[in-house]
Structure 1
Amino acid sequence: MDKLLCDELVQEVFQRLPPSSSSVSLVSKRWLHLHRTSRTSLTLRLTGDDPTVASISTLLSHYPFLSCLSILSSNPRSKTSLADQFLLLVCTFCAKLHSLRFLAGPVSASSLTSLSAACTQLTSLCINLSRPFFLMWIINFPKLRDLSIRVCSGEIGVEQQDDCGFLADEDSGAELGLESLCLSGIGAGDWGLGWLWRSCRKLKKLQLKSCEGVGDGGSFSSFTTCLQGVQEVELRTSRSILDGVLLKLAENCDSLTSLLVYDGGSREALLRFFSQCHCNLQKLDFRLPLDLKNDHLLAVSTNFRSLSILRLQSCCLVSGEGLKALGTAVNCGLEELALINCDVVEREPGLLSALGQNLRKLRKLDLSHNEMLLDKEFMSMLVSCNYLVDLRVRGCKGLTNASIFSMIKSCKCLERVDIMHCSGIQAEAIESFVVNSPQLKWVQVEQSKISDAAKTWASHKFIEAVA
């Protein structure tokens, strides 16, 4: 049989197999070679002591057709010099790359210049840089659309210092093709970002993580330049700049459709944004334990009636009044609701029932980690939510088998369900759920709760059961 299968056919089979089936390459040396040459995606995790350059070189040489590569290191002491050597190996063996995630240590500007010359098809790049960092090398990647930079402490190479003169030419008139930009760890005094903001006129998505600034003083005035066409903004643990960024968004960004804010912000700035922003927001995702209050939700219900996704996590000061007002305002359009670890779910009886009656077109519902949520409250909402396709109640320890039977009765369209760590739900209810859910495709539950009969039914109905 091995002789009857030509190389091209074997490679075609390998490309259609899931990654977990890679052991088939052990059949013979020929199959091993064909398996490697058929791979277009590879992830390398460097653990323990730094591996030798020779070992990485040998490994990469076996995969000549990679289009997507991730190299990650768990060693926090990785140096720029070693990371540069690994990156030069990527330049040597992976010329066909479209996507590179290189987090094996901070890299220098010179090695990135070499990367741009070798991997001319790169559209996505994720890297670490050490201070002081310089960004004019981005010009050398004309096809780059997705860029992620994490700034970390590290040694400063000679190449980076030499690049400073080039950086000073901020009037170069470059216009970058970036559509998605993620910056992590930016400090208030980091230079050079003003040029970046002025050059990013095509941005659709902007992410700022653990940032204390958007560059030096002059950079903030340039920041508004990149906001004109932005549709998605994510601000994570960036409390010191959040107020200013929200103000700039409200004043300069009419195209914003999605906003995520995690762990940071002032109540006043949030309220000003909700009151002054004129964009057509469709998605709000907040994790603000002590900042989000009732008046914010009331402002959202007044100004953003086109909202289709609302996700709240650990929002302790939100009350039922705000959520009910919001539910009434967006009742026709809201398709996804998440109230994760929000004690208002447990604190105010009847809230879920009211939300269910107003939000009858919900397709996704996430009530995870509300440990004291009881069957009565949960079931009173499900009665009205007949169009749910995705339901998650992970960690809701107060739910019992009764909730599962209510899901079977009320939610005939369910396709994906997460019921992990629900100690009150037993194996017999899981079995009944698998048997009687006609659209179910994926369920996440403890292995110990999946009976043999449930496994058989899941297999027959092509349901993926994940433990």
Structure 2
Amino acid sequence: MCSLEKQNPPNPPLKRGPSWSNLWFKNKKTLNQVVFAMHLQSLTNNPPKNNHTPEPDKTLIFDTSKVADRTSLLSDELLLRILSKLPDSQRNSNSLVSKRWLNLQGRLVRSLKLLDWDFLISGRLFLRFPNLTHVDLVHGCVNSPRNSGILLTHKSVTFHIDSNTWSGGFIPERYISSVEKIDLGLKALANGCPNLRKLMVINASEVGLLSVAEECPTLQELELHRCSDQVLRGIAACQNLQILKLIGNVDGFYCSLVSDIGLTILAQGCQRLVKLELSGCEGGYDGIKAIGQCCQMLEELTLCDHRMEGGWLSALQYCENLKTLRFQSCKTIDCDPEPDEHLGSCPTLQRLQFERCQLRDKRSVKALFLACQGVRETVFQNCWGLNDDMFSIASICRRVKFLSLESCTSLTTQGLESVILSWNELQSLKVVSCNHIKDSEVTPALSSLFSELKELKWRPDTKFRLLSSLAGTGMGKRGSKFFKKS
């Protein structure tokens, strides 16, 4: 005998209401009313130029069904507001809709990297992009072979070169456009972009920069490649300049001279500088002193591959508002520093940073730490020669709150501990890829310090962590029989 259980009937399917998109496009009358209202709003904001006023007693009849492109009913201002809300990834596709959208999308572009110099000289650049504020002319100034498979790169400079014309260790002069041609382009840029705020250019002259300074009073950021002392006479006219990057000598690319003369001219003209970067420059004490005395708003100074004369460190005491001092790819700090009593110090300095520098001269490193003994943040990244002896000099800086060590392979756990235990104000520590700093060598005193820190990032020995994670898998030992010592 089998029993039948009463089964509940299945739930009836839920009826899904009509979507907004279906209602919107199904009701053409409602859509026409919306477009008609937007068109009336456009006419109200942009009345016709003629003096004929429509009679009030007549009714305006408008049939949107006869309009192929309904966006043509919108004013340029309204359509620009809509396009500005779309992500930048849709910029290229939006430009393909129509010629009008192409022109409107060009009005939204603010930053541009020029590759074709004729596009600038002909004036088509300003017709296509009338509201540019950031322009990079570096690649457009170089006539390198685009179809070459040899690409030469040095930090922010990248060129295609031809192996048949490569000689002397530098790019051929014929690759770089002439000074007259670049000045002509700068004059056209100054006339077409009066609201220019950032400019990057190579091999410019004093005349070309003067035209930019006169026509673009809002220029705030400037990057000059292949700069020299004479070119800096034109920069002095940029009175509102706040960020400046000078690239004088770049190994393998070009060679130019920036000395104390140019730095003094710069200091007297650009007194509103906030950030200054000197790359491949050959100044010294007089140039840095002039910058410190005249540019009293300077907060950040970066020295990249500098060729400064000996004794320039003692001029840092004149930079009274300097907050950040950065060294990048420097082979030495100061080849002949002044005695300790003549160094002085930077009272407002907060951050000292080293990137890819050689710290092998104990005398110059000590002079630098004496001049920056009030620093609060210290960063070492990929520095050569930073062993326990060199790092022990950093104990002079008693007020350090943040320390970052990355890829400093010569520093050991004992060397790190001897310094940071003397820093009573240390709050944050970052140690990454320092293979001679071992987890197993951490002492109880160092462990106690770690527990008191507000922030700790501890990944010193990446090789040790990898081997410990592979323990028991047999990996790392299979090839040992093929690499035995004979």
Question: Which bracket does the TM-score occupy, shorter chain normalised?
Answer: 0.5 to 0.7
Equivalent pairs counted in the alignment come to 361
Query: Once the 2 structures are TM-superposed, how far is the Cα of residue 149 of structure 1 from its aligned partner?
Result: 0.9
* Per-residue CA distance 1:121-146 (angstroms, 9 max, x = gap): 01111112344544233331111111
Q: Distance in 2 between matches of 1:123 and 1:168?
A: 18
> Does residue 137 of the first structure (1) align with residue 234 of the second (2)?
yes
1:177 deviates by 1.1
The one of 196, 201, 209 aligned to 2:296:
201
2:411 — aligned with what? 318
Equivalent positions of 1:1-150 (< 5 A) are 1-3=70-72, 5-22=74-91, 23-44=93-114, 46=115, 51-52=117-118, 57-73=123-139, 74-75=158-159, 76=171, 77-79=175-177, 80-100=179-199, 102-103=200-201, 105-150=202-247
Percent sequence identity is 20
Q: How much does 1:372 deviate?
A: 1.1
Residues 1:297 and 1:282: Cα distance change in structure 2 (over 3 Å): same
Instruction: Sort the Cα spacing of 1:277 and 1:93 in 2 relative to 1 into closer, same or farther, 3 A.
Output: closer
Stretches of structure 1 lacking an aligned partner (at least 5 in a row): 378-397, 401-422, 425-467
- CA distance in 1: counterparts of 2:286 and 2:447, whole angstroms: 48
CA distance in 2, matches of 1:245, 1:89: 46
Q: Does 1:151 align with 2:244?
A: no
Q: SS of the residue aligned with 1:27?
A: coil
Q: Secondary structure at the match of 1:344?
A: coil
Contact (CA 8 Å) 1:200, 1:226: kept in 2 or not? Answer: no
Query: Structure 1's 83 and 198: CA in aligned 2 closer, same or farther, altered over 3 A?
Result: farther
Equivalent residue number for residue 328 of structure 2: 236
**SS of match in other structure, 2:352:** strand
CA shift for structure 1 position 5: 4.4
Once residues 97 and 60 of structure 1 are traced to their aligned partners in structure 2, the CA distance between those partners, rounded to angstroms, is 12
- TM superposition shift of 1:255: 1.3
Residue deviations 1:20-65 (CA, integer Å, cap 9, x gap): 2212222222211111112222233x3xxx6435577313431111
Cα deviation for residue 90 of structure 1 reads: 1.9
| Offset of residue 180 of structure 1 | 0.9
TM-score scaled to structure 2, two decimals?
0.61
> How much does 1:96 deviate?
0.8
Is the CA contact (8 Å cut-off) linking 1:131 and 1:154 kept in structure 2?
A: no
Q: TM-score, normalised by structure 1?
A: 0.64
SS in 1 for 2:348: coil
What secondary structure, in the 3-state scheme, does the structure 1 residue paired with 2:123 have?
Answer: helix
What one-letter code is carried by the residue in structure 2 that aligns with 1:19?
A: D
Classify the secondary structure of the residue corresponding to 1:64.
Answer: coil
Amino acid across the alignment from 2:186: L
The range that moved more, 70-79 or 25-34, is: 70-79
- Superposed, which structure 2 residues align to 1:160-179 within 5 Å? 176-179=271-274
Cα distance in 1 for partners of 2:390, 2:193 equals 50
> Which stretches in structure 2 are left out of the alignment for 5+ residues?
1-69, 140-157, 160-170, 477-486
Task: State which structure, 1 or 2, has the greater radius of gyration over its C-alpha atoms.
Answer: 2
RMSD: 4.3
> Whole-Å Cα distance in 2 between the matches of residues 352 and 375 of structure 1?
22
Within 1, Cα distance between the matches of 2:227 and 2:396? Answer: 45
The match for 2:280 is 185
